[in-house]
Amino acid sequence: MFSTSTQRKFWTFSDETELARLREKHNLQYISKHGSNTDEYQPYNIFLSPEEEGLLLKQYELHMKEFCKRFSPPMPKGVVGTAFHYFKRFYLYNSTMDYHPKEILATCVYLACKVEEFNVSIGQFVANIKGDREKASDIILNNELLLMQQLNYHLTIHNPFRPVEGFLIDIKTRCTLPNPERLRSGIDEFLEKVFLTDACLLYAPSQIALAAVLHSASKEQENLDSYVTEILFIDAGPDKLAILIEAVRKIRSLVKMVENPVRERVKIIEKKLDRCRNQENNPDSEIYKRRMRETLDEDDMPYSGTSRMSLDTSGVTQVLSPSAS
Amino acid sequence: MDDQACPRCKTTKYRNPSLKLMVNVCGHTLCESCVDLLFLKGSGSCPECNVPLRRSNFRVQMFEDPMVEKEIDIRKRVLKDYNKKEEDFETLREYNDYLEEIETIIFNLTNNIDVVNTNKRIEQYKKDNREIIMKNKVKIGQEELELEEILEIEKQMEELRRTEVVRLELEAKKQKIREKEALIDELMFADGDAKEILNTFAQNVASKQEEAVPPLPLVTQFSTGVKFTCGSAQSHLPVIEEGPLYRYEPPITPDRIGPDPPTIEEIINEGYLQHVKAENDTEKAGGYTSTLPCLRALQDALAGLYHTS
């Protein structure tokens, strides 16, 4: 149940400024750690600004959406939703400069497949990735434990998909709306866009689902306001209704504001990122390769399997608690 | 008792209080020192009847009349072979005849009447009844073993009870001493009236005595919980102690922060099920019904609607 979940307790925030503050904090943390010999007054000549990081993440969220569509048999919506949750949560407490989003993206999807019981082996999984598949599977397996640690092992995600089904059943049963099934296409479209916003870090899944249903209804020129006020919230006070109306309004406006980042802008950012990213976590860098060799040498052959894990988690110096910040 | 005397050295109990008279199968007595003297080699003949005897067969005379001892010996030997029981005979009459025969044989042997013929009779009987004799020997052996076991256990229980009593007594004594010391301490250091202190202590002691020592558990069981009178009709069932009965308390449902979802009855009765995929026969066989998934969807839809952060 959402009300008692870690999702509500640790991963649902009060408003967007809180999210922005968290992201800026970890951006600055990275710069202060790695930018000792740069111009103090204009660090963003070299490093990414929080705004640039945001744009980059938006772009990679689009990539993630495309990537998830590549699977055959098609991936259930719940897996995609869970992967989006993981991705957003990870970059609340980490900078894109520390861990490259393209690596975390694949790891998030892989972990979501496991958690949501969509059975894909690592071999089948990397078959959907362009480029060097062996390297990709290495990266994913290396990052998997890191990702779980950064999520504080809060792996259960409450997605808005089942609440949507619940609302449709309830509307069919208690409401006179003709043919509610026609709302579905609008709902799906809305939910797809919702995951490109921060709504899932701010609102309950049922609120998002209701927003989707109401949005789709208004698109079909139907009005479900009476369903909400006279059936759903009949026993609740007006204060609670006000909260819900505000939440729905906010979610809809968030979705409305979704726009794809400009291609050229993102390309520039990616180039900048290549220069300022943490080379210790870049699998192509000399530092990374040397460290890999060292750990392999240190551990004897029987441990070579686990050396991979110890290698990557060694880069994580602090265990983050979302409640602590 | 005074006229007990060794027929050979004429020592009497009066002159030698530690005199021990011994007797052998022939029924003639000798004192311990004479036995030591005459049977140095381990065997020899009786000084009175010249019957060859073994020293190991001498034992302490229990009855005043040595003839009784002789009879006991002979009876033991005869009964080893004549070990038939009442069950082995068809009628009571036959059994009684058999007992009569045993007594005759024993009497003859004890009083040296027709010894040769009697011995022949025994031999003949042994030959005729070898199987029954062997069978009964085994049976008797088992019975004796059981009896011995029971005796042994009884002895152990008795021992346990004794140590328990001793322990309790010791404890009581210690308790008394402690109470006395406490009283003296109180009298020495307390500010209250001495008489009052004495009174309260006396009361305390009285109330304690009322509590009394719990009665010792009756020794009626083996340590395994089997009664002494095992095999008797009343079988012993162990009494199981019952704790307080379990009371079911429904789990506390956490706050849903949303409107209440319908109950299962409402889902079934108010038409919710028309709008979910009904379970097919295969699913039903596995125990699946569409009610619970429907309930879950509704619960998920309504939970968290009041959420604010």
pLDDT in tens, B130-143: 888 888 888 878 88
Mean of pLDDT over chain B? 83
* pLDDT the model gives residue B79: 85
State the smallest CA–CA distance between residue B307 and chain A in angstroms.
6
Contact A243 B308 (CB under 8 A): yes
For A284-300, give one letter per residue: b (16+ CB within 10 A) or e.
Answer: eeeebeebbeebeeebe
For the cut 60, the answer to whether the pLDDT of residue B98 exceeds it is yes
Report if residue A267 sits inside a domain.
Answer: no
Which chain A residues are within 8 Å of B270, Cβ to Cβ? 173
Main-chain phi, psi angles of A25, to 5 degrees:
-60, -45
Q: Residues in chain A with pLDDT < 70?
A: 36-41, 299-325
Helix (H) or strand (E) holding A141: helix A133-150
pLDDT in tens, A299-322: 655 544 444 444 444 444 444 444
* pLDDT the model gives residue B170: 94
* pLDDT the model gives residue A300: 53
Nearest CA in chain A to B272: A173
Q: Could you report the predicted ipTM of this complex, rounded to two decimals?
A: 0.81
State the smallest CA–CA distance between residue B167 and chain A in angstroms.
60
* pLDDT the model gives residue B127: 87
Q: Structurally, how many domains does chain A consist of?
A: 1
pLDDT in tens, A146-155: 999 999 999 9
Q: How many CB pairs under 8 A join A and B?
A: 101
Report if residue A173 sits inside a domain.
Answer: yes
Q: Which of residues 229-288 of B touch A (CB under 8 A)?
A: 254-260, 270-272, 274-276
Q: What is the CATH number of the domain that holds A217?
A: 1.10.472.10
Q: What is the pTM of this model?
A: 0.58
For the cut 90, the answer to whether the pLDDT of residue B243 exceeds it is no
Report if residue A224 sits inside a domain.
Answer: yes
To 5 degrees, how large is the angle CA A133–CA A135–CA A137?
70
Report d(CA A246, CA A163) in Å as an integer.
19
Report if residue A39 sits inside a domain.
Answer: no
For the cut 70, the answer to whether the pLDDT of residue B231 exceeds it is no
State the smallest CA–CA distance between residue B276 and chain A in angstroms.
7
- Output DSSP code: residue A3: G
A205 Cβ contact partners less than 8 Å away, ≥ 6 residues apart: A2, A158, A159, A160, A163, B300, B304
Range of the domain at A173: 161-256
Please state the rounded mean pLDDT for residues B263-292.
Answer: 88
Contact A166 B300 (CB under 8 A): yes
Q: B12 in helix, strand or coil?
A: strand
Contact B307 A210 (CB under 8 A): no
